[in-house]
A and B are shown apart, each in its own frame.
Chain A
Amino acid sequence: MSRAVRFAPLVFLLAIIAALVWRLATPVDSNVHSTLEGKPLPAFDLPPILPSKPALSSADLATGRPHLVNVFASWCVPCVTEVKVLQALKERGVPIDGIAIRDRAPDLADFLARNGDPYERIGSDSQSRVQISLGSSGVPESFVVDGKGVIRFQQIGPIEASDVPMILSKIEQAR
């Protein structure tokens, strides 16, 4: 057997190890991105969940100014910290609307009283139907929707304090 053939299995093994190390060092992005970015928001009309909050429909989002639509829930842990960042965005003039996934009125009222309430409108999506029609795969997620009701950007996972400039620029671009 020639030398090259004898070392072939070793080279093969090293190649496999190299591939594994590379994949461990740079993991695959397992987020499922909505393919609706750049497309109009699917039509929806959600009922209100709290008496003090107007409901949310797709028509409320095509009003000529960009909106940030936050898909959230009172039972979602990362949403607790995110809502404070949303408050900061609201203070910078970003209109924020919420889609509450599988939520109950008392739980949501408690959540907002405890963590702050940046939302102009909140629609109740009790069976995740609007969430699925948006191509969203979990909570929290946020969509930048421009004045014509076109989805311009999808944020998967909570908006962190460090994401504020990025979100502000996305809103600016959607103007």
Chain B
Amino acid sequence: MKRFLLIFALVAVQPLWADSNLPPAYWSDRQLPNPRQEAQAQALMQEIRCLVCQGQSIADSDAELAGDMRDLVRRRIAAGEKPDAIRAWLIQRYGTWISYKPTTEPAAWPLWLAPFGLLLIGAWLVRRRIRLRRGA
């Protein structure tokens, strides 16, 4: 039992090793003084995907790398850079994977066309229903 507990404790403590000893970057958890810029930064951070916790945005993630990316986004916005330019800079490095905003690349066409396809199927079903009723 003791050995089991020891192993369990070792397993439980693992994630602690995965972080550095340095404090978070300055702008990682601090709002920009200019509310308009902070709003721009927030909107962008909600749409940039965290590289560590891959289902989260960098605005939601507690990973250190996400903190450093928030710092990078806020710094660049404060320096006057446009959010779209920052997104493009990140896509240049990590591919479209990094952005949650759907692209217009051919790979995303089914996504854009799906609503119309579903509407057509719905219309067909309704039409059939009405016909059946009339028939009965």
Contacts and interface: CB of A to CB of B under 8 A. Distances in A.
The answer to whether A and B come from one shared complex is: yes
Interface stretch (B20-28, B111-119, B128-136): B20-28
Contact of A75 (B17, B71, B90, B95): B17
Contacts of B71: 127
A103 B65 CA distance: 13
Interface string B84-105: 0000001011110110000000
B93 A133 contact: yes
A90 B54 CA distance: 34
Q: How large is the interface on B (under 10, 10 to 19, 20 to 34, 35 or more residues)?
A: 20 to 34
Given A75-B21, A103-B20, A135 B65 contact: no
A134 B93 contact: yes
B22 A135 contact: no
A132 to B, nearest CB: 6
A137 interface: yes
A58 interface: no
A128 interface: yes
Given A34-B94, A35-B92, A134-B93, A128 B65 contact: yes
A40 B65 CA distance: 23
Interface in A106-144: 107, 126-129, 131-135, 137-138
Nearest to A75: B20
Contacts of A101: 20
A77 interface: yes
B97 A138 contact: no
A111 B124 CA distance: 68
Interface of B: 17-22, 25, 51-52, 54, 64-65, 68-69, 71-72, 90, 92-95, 97-98
18 contacts: A32-B95, A32-B97, A34-B94, A35-B92, A75-B17, A102-B21, A104-B21, A104-B22, A127-B68, A127-B71, A128-B64, A129-B68, A131-B68, A132-B68, A132-B72, A132-B90, A135-B93, A138-B51
